[in-house]
Amino acid sequence: MIQLIVFLPLLAAIVAGFGNRAIGNVPAKIVTTAALFASCLLSWPIFLGFMAGTSSATVEPLLNFIQSGDMNVAWSLRVDALTAVMLVVVTSVSALVHLYSWGYMDEDPDQPRFFAYLSLFTFAMLMLVTANNLVQMFFGWEGVGLASYLLIGFWFRKPSASAAAIKAFVVNRVGDLGFMLGIFGTFLVFGTVSIPEILAAAPGMAGSTIGFLGYRFDTMTVLCLLLFVGAMGKSAQLGLHTWLPDAMEGPTPVSALIHAATMVTAGVFMVCRLSPMFEMSPVALTVVTSVGAATCLFAATCGLVQTDIKRVIAYSTCSQLGYMFFAAGVGAYGAAMFHLFTHAFFKALLFLGAGSVIHAMHHEQDMRYYGGLRKKIPVTFWGMMAGTLAITGVGIPGIFGNTAFGFAGFHSKDAIIEASWAAGQPGVWFVGVLVALLTSFYSWRVMFLTFWGKPRWAASEHIQHALHDAHGHDDHAHDAHHVDDHHANPAKAEDAGHAPHDHHDAVHAPAEGDGGYHPHESPLPMLIPLIVLSIGAVLAGFVFHGYFIEPSAGEEFWKGALAFREHLMHEMHGVPLIIKLSATIAMLLGLLTAWYAYIKNPSFPGKVIEQFGVLYDFLLHKWYFDELYDLIFVRPAFAIGRFLWHRGDEKTINRFGPDGSAWLVQVGARVAGRFQTGYLYTYAFVMLIGLTAAVTWAIGLY
Amino acid sequence: MTGFPILSVLIAVPMIAAIACLFVSANTARMLALAATLIDFVLGIMLWMNFDIGGAQWQFVEHAPGIFGPFGWSLGIDGFALMLIMLSVFLMPICIGASWRSITTRVPEYMAAFLFTEVLMIGTFAAQDLFLFYVFFEAGLIPMYLIIGIWGGANRIYASYKFFLYTLLGSVLMFIAMLYMAKTAGTTSIPALLNYDFPAHVQTWLWLAFFASFAVKMPMWPVHTWLPDAHVQAPTAGSVILAGVLLKLGGYGFLRFLLPMFPEASGQLTWLIFGLSAVAVIYTSLVALVQSDMKKLIAYSSVAHMAIVTIGLFAFNRQGIEGAMIMMLSHGLVSGALFLCVGVIYDQLHTREISRYGGLAINMPRYAIFFLFFTMASIGLPGTSGFVAEFLSLMGTYQVSTWTALLCTTSIILGAAYMLYLYRRVVFGEIKSDEVRGMVDLSAREFWLLAPIAAVVLWMGVYPESFLAPMRKDVSVLLARVDRAKPASDSNPTAGKPATVHEAAHGEAH
């Protein structure tokens, strides 16, 4: 069964990818979507089995992979509670995204390729989550990286898309460097790459030291930190996050599936999968916590000021991943996985909702040109509303002894915030609460700018373009492909990798008015996923929180699939009332601020920007990370490359090597000029004679 | 298979065909060359099928003493040689196919040169006599020299000259060392020499002499500058065979001579190999990043990949050596295929300038898929042969030196950067010129040249066991031989302290 779940998407990808134009759009879409729905339907019973406590961890061997002495790697599929969670997340979101893409990509000329990539991604992701050894995990890890590269660069004619694709791949490779060294070190220490064997042996390595780069460190700290570098790359944590916002160049369904719900959570999954290892290194856990908290805060601040709807959600994703990491760092692995689980639903929902808005607005992504869409696209509005309620964590805290009830994010995010307090990390708790406020603000900002207020579409070039095109052919996909038209104006914020060129006071500059354009609600294939995910965003937290984080139920559910700290989960319930309420209060404050700034007094943001121009610029430029990296990595790499090529190879090695000897030969040639004919065969002939002479001499030695 | 001199036949078939080629017309020469290489490929498969995995170390041994005076015609292969012979016979028909249309002048001579190369390659890998090896090894220069010099690009004379100068320098030193060895050990039999212990101080000199030759062939930094020029000037098939097989002679030499014959010297000079390799990885990767000529870029990437071979070999452990061997096979296939990919578009536009292309995915989708696949294999994506190679080799290295492993693992970042940057400029984007718009997708011939390589790359990436199994026993033999000289690891993890464990568990329970 698990074989079917994993390999159906691969099979579908092969059929759609290689069949491509030969089989046509519709069959390719049917094959891939059907395969994913089948995988999804097969996955839920596995998850339910673990919930009911009737299933236990199994490993299905497939084939030998690499056997090199002690290094024994097999292709196999592992299913335990942790895998089961990921299975339902991956296959459900993927199936819905496939369906959604029927509508979103309807007018694209290259649909089989798109669906093949989506299915290929799903296969790689499933290989990752079912890995029983680190090498197969790495296979899936890189496989999703490939799919991500292909999908970000799907509209390969757009220079910004192919640039973003390379950036994503290369930055991820920086993380993979750490992952690979981590695997090498793990093999060196444990003599195996099998995850269960490593986890079983990990406790015995406490207090051990290891040499690394000439110094000696605590063994488990070295291994965990190396592996964590990999997780940082894939999950876009601070320092290695720069690829994620640019990845929004890909089609929106891709952003929903890969860059929100599944692939970017692989790092969190890895830390949870290897949690018994991380448990052995307090230093590594501190690093995980710090990096998570820093990313959480950093990304949220960037999200505050972005004007591209997808970029706001991208930074939001980055920030929520930070939550998951610091949850893992304080030892609340269950809470980390819980947030991963709920986040997958509501963030996919938000992205697909944003996609629906973009679809309705003729590929306009700048929120400054939205407004008043509530009535025009009601289903999308209510879907995004559910997503926003979920991500901001709206709910009724269980302070009167009753059971808490709220939207998905309420259960999972509050659990993380409470856990950080219970783990004795008030600093982290503070960051968590602060970011809850920021999350609430930027999420509502999206809602208010998009759905409330008066229409501001008239100024949008995309809309104007649509109006002009209306009598010709209304081909959206063609739109996305026509780079010349769309990127003629450099001020468009969707140009990845380019600094936004907006003026400070431009936030509300676009004139009001709909310019005669009437947005339409998206077609049914796009609305169904929104509705299904909305249900998830409403209920996922309440229904499942017992299994993920309740002390005894959690222990039973996870069955050792991750290092479940029952003790910490107990203490979470005992945190002071103010701590329990803190996240909710922060959420309300954020909502209130957003309401004041974007509904009550729309001139307010402009004033703030005028007052704090420097800070605004700093945030708008995402803390200048891209500029910094360009300055210290990209440019020097090219400069050094050029230097080594011209100065090293040509001016030094060649000059003193072959060219130098050539010069010597030339001098010699003046002496022996008459023997130099300049013809190749003469040289070859002389060589042969020399060879023969040498051999004869050798024979003569005997 | 007893009694049937299959190795001699493998050598004789292309030899006879090469001579015959010189007396026939262009078309007949093409057919003849293709037939001969295909026959050799079939013979190669028979060789592999009949190879007794885990059996005797030397198989298919042939010995005819006295043909060449004191040293004889003695052939025989082990797993390493088998794999490299397979690589040669697999790539040869593809090379002939790649030259089918693009070579129009002096076709008979061209085909003869290729067939002669095949003779010499197989001979080098199968030779069991020191001097027989030397003759094959050095004579391999001649046809390649001619291929570059006659059928090469505009600057072919300079390139062939450089190629010749570099390789000659090493050869002289190696030849002197061989003479000394033959005299001291009293035998020229390679299997015998493999177990002969030279005094440690002599080993160092012999090691350096051999190293001079193999390092150039490899090529290692800083004696690599002949390679970019040779590749750029060579015709497509010349590049394929140069990258695919000729570069493997250096690695094979390290494996066959340096390590087992001079283990002590190898152990002592590991630092030199590690140092040069680490420099090579970073240096040549950065240089590859700024190339504007496609072939030069791939040539520089070859130097970086070959550095992964050398560190793996000198890791003195199973993962390292097996990884190095897989890297040689993988690189032979992948960079060969990449050169074919360059050839496909070179044949249409007659330029290797990257900036002249762009947007090929639009009118050449099948080409774009193959090019992407080989690009990914080149940067070691798991599922392709490149990953298995890189992973094992670096894993072996990590066990010896974490610094070297760290520096060389940067190749996964830099490699991705230069290859994807190349791919982006050639395949992505809009079509910029009419000449590019007029380009056509892979022909059936080109498709069937690339498809078999892709299949093997995938096979080696998903189930490398087929390729590891024949070499497993030979690695054991080699390891047993060099174990005494193994360099110390810089990791040395200490045992854990169970007491702490107990405390931790205790603390958590409350």
Q: What is the pLDDT of residues B148-185, one digit of tens each?
A: 888 877 777 777 777 777 777 778 888 888 888 888 88
The amino acid sitting at A648 is G
The closest CB to that of B413, out of A135, A141, A173, belongs to A173
Give the three-class secondary structure for B92: helix
Mean pLDDT across chain A: 85
pLDDT digits (tens, 9 = 90+) for A510-525: 677 777 788 888 889 9
Average pLDDT over residues A675-683: 57
| Closest chain B residue to the Cα of A184, Cα to Cα | B395
| Closest chain A residue to the Cα of B375, Cα to Cα | A146
Average pLDDT over residues A113-126: 94
Both tokens of A447, joined, read: 């809602």
Q: What is the DSSP string of A424-452?
A: T-HHHHHHHHHHHHHHHHHHHHHHHHHHS
Quick one: pLDDT band at residue B105, thresholds 50, 70, 90?
A: confident
pLDDT digits (tens, 9 = 90+) for A690-700: 766 666 665 55
pLDDT at A562: 86
**Is there a contact between B468 and A174 if contact means CB atoms under 8 Å apart?**
no
**pLDDT value at B9 more than 70:** yes
Average pLDDT over residues B117-138: 90
Average pLDDT over residues B444-469: 93
- The total of other beta-carbon atoms located within 10 Å of residue A693's CB is 10
Distance from the A166 Cα atom to the nearest Cα atom in chain B, whole angstroms: 6
Distance from the A505 Cα atom to the nearest Cα atom in chain B, whole angstroms: 35
| Residues near A484 by beta carbon (within 8 Å), at least 6 away in sequence | none
**Is there a contact between B505 and A143 if contact means CB atoms under 8 Å apart?**
no
Distance from the A212 Cα atom to the nearest Cα atom in chain B, whole angstroms: 6
For A494, the enclosing helix (H) or strand (E) is none
**Is there a contact between B395 and A641 if contact means CB atoms under 8 Å apart?**
no
Average pLDDT over residues B6-26: 89
The closest CB to that of A653, out of B160, B222, B392, belongs to B222
**pLDDT value at A43 more than 80:** yes
Share of chain B above pLDDT 90, in %: 47
pLDDT digits (tens, 9 = 90+) for B410-441: 999 999 999 999 999 999 988 888 888 888 88
Quick one: pLDDT band at residue A501, thresholds 50, 70, 90?
A: very low
The number of C-alpha atoms within 13 Å of A330 and in the hemisphere containing its C-beta is 31
Average pLDDT over residues A65-90: 90
CB A5 within 8 A of CB A39: yes
Given CB atoms, is B488 within the 8 Å cutoff of chain A? no
**pLDDT value at A571 more than 90:** no
pLDDT at A460: 79
| Residues near A538 by beta carbon (within 8 Å), at least 6 away in sequence | A386, A389, A390, A407, A408
- The total of other beta-carbon atoms located within 10 Å of residue A622's CB is 23
Q: Does any domain span residue A537?
A: no
**Is there a contact between B504 and A206 if contact means CB atoms under 8 Å apart?**
yes
Q: Does any domain span residue A687?
A: yes
**Is there a contact between B463 and A565 if contact means CB atoms under 8 Å apart?**
no
- Which residues 115-144 of B have a C-beta within 8 angstroms of A? 131, 135, 138-139, 141-142
**Is there a contact between A680 and B491 if contact means CB atoms under 8 Å apart?**
no
Give the three-class secondary structure for A49: helix
Range with the poorest average pLDDT among A155-169, A316-330, A440-454, B98-112: B98-112
The length of chain B in residues reads 510
The amino acid sitting at A520 is H
Share of chain B above pLDDT 70, in %: 95
pLDDT at A490: 35
pLDDT at A517: 80
- Which residues 46-105 of B have a C-beta within 8 angstroms of A? 68-71
Residues of B in contact with A684 (CB under 8 A): 142, 145-146
Mean pLDDT across chain B: 88
Residues of A in contact with B394 (CB under 8 A): 180, 184
pLDDT at A399: 60
CB A93 within 8 A of CB A147: no
Q: Does any domain span residue A612?
A: no
ipTM of predicted assembly, 2 dp: 0.92
pLDDT at A400: 58
| Residues near B7 by beta carbon (within 8 Å), at least 6 away in sequence | B47, B60, B62, B75, B76, B77, B122, B126
| Closest chain A residue to the Cα of B414, Cα to Cα | A170
**pLDDT value at A354 more than 50:** yes
| Mutation for A interface: B22, B132, B284, B398, most A CBs within 10 A | B398
CB A2 within 8 A of CB A77: yes
**Is there a contact between B491 and A210 if contact means CB atoms under 8 Å apart?**
yes
| Mutation for B interface: A64, A144, A184, most B CBs within 10 A | A184
Bridge partners for A58 per DSSP: A79
Share of chain A above pLDDT 70, in %: 87
pLDDT at B475: 92
**Is there a contact between A173 and B412 if contact means CB atoms under 8 Å apart?**
yes
Q: Does any domain span residue A635?
A: yes
Residues of B in contact with A696 (CB under 8 A): none
**pLDDT value at A1 more than 90:** no
| Closest chain A residue to the Cα of B420, Cα to Cα | A166
Bridge partners for B77 per DSSP: B59
Quick one: pLDDT band at residue A683, thresholds 50, 70, 90?
A: low
Q: B447 to each of A17, A558, B336, B363, B367, how far by Cα in Å?
A: 17, 50, 14, 15, 8
pLDDT at A481: 42
**Is there a contact between B417 and A68 if contact means CB atoms under 8 Å apart?**
no
For A654, the domain range is 631-698
pLDDT at A496: 38
Give the three-class secondary structure for A396: strand
**Is there a contact between B70 and A637 if contact means CB atoms under 8 Å apart?**
no
Residues A532 and A81: their CA atoms lie apart, in Å, by: 23
Residue in this structure with the two tokens 């570069």, named with its chain if needed: B247
Average pLDDT over residues B385-395: 94
The number of C-alpha atoms within 13 Å of B62 and in the hemisphere containing its C-beta is 19
pLDDT digits (tens, 9 = 90+) for A447-482: 999 998 888 887 778 877 777 765 444 444 444 444
| Closest chain A residue to the Cα of B459, Cα to Cα | A65
Range with the poorest average pLDDT among A273-287, A349-363, A397-411: A397-411
Inter-chain contacts counted by CB atoms under 8 A, chains A and B: 242
**Total domains present in chain A:** 1
| Closest chain A residue to the Cα of B490, Cα to Cα | A211
**Is there a contact between B394 and A695 if contact means CB atoms under 8 Å apart?**
no
pLDDT at A491: 35
**pLDDT value at A61 more than 50:** yes
Quick one: pLDDT band at residue A494, thresholds 50, 70, 90?
A: very low
Alpha-helical runs (H) found in A596-676 = 604-611, 613-620, 625-629, 635-643, 654-656, 658-671
Q: Does any domain span residue A360?
A: no
pLDDT digits (tens, 9 = 90+) for A637-650: 888 888 888 887 87
**pLDDT value at B505 more than 50:** no
> What does the H/E/C string look like for A284-345?
HHHHHHHHHHHHHHHHHHHHHHCCEHHHHHHHHHHHHHHHHHHHHHCCCHHHHHHHHHHHHH
Given CB atoms, is B201 within the 8 Å cutoff of chain A? no
Given CB atoms, is B145 within the 8 Å cutoff of chain A? yes
Residues of B in contact with A203 (CB under 8 A): 496, 501, 504-505
Residue that wins the pLDDT comparison between A693 and A483:
A693
The number of C-alpha atoms within 13 Å of B361 and in the hemisphere containing its C-beta is 21
**Is there a contact between B318 and A68 if contact means CB atoms under 8 Å apart?**
yes
Residues of A in contact with B414 (CB under 8 A): 637
**pLDDT value at B1 more than 70:** no
Nearest to A10 by CA among A124, A141, A94: A124
Q: Does any domain span residue A11?
A: no
Quick one: pLDDT band at residue B88, thresholds 50, 70, 90?
A: very high
pLDDT digits (tens, 9 = 90+) for B316-329: 999 999 999 999 99
**Is there a contact between B68 and A699 if contact means CB atoms under 8 Å apart?**
yes
**Is there a contact between B222 and A657 if contact means CB atoms under 8 Å apart?**
yes
pLDDT at A487: 38
Distance from the B423 Cα atom to the nearest Cα atom in chain A, whole angstroms: 10
Q: Say whether the peptide bond before residue B219 is cis (omega within 30 degrees of 0).
A: yes
Residues of B in contact with A205 (CB under 8 A): 493, 496
- Which residues 296-325 of B have a C-beta within 8 angstroms of A? 317-319, 322-323
pLDDT at B508: 42
Average pLDDT over residues B396-403: 92
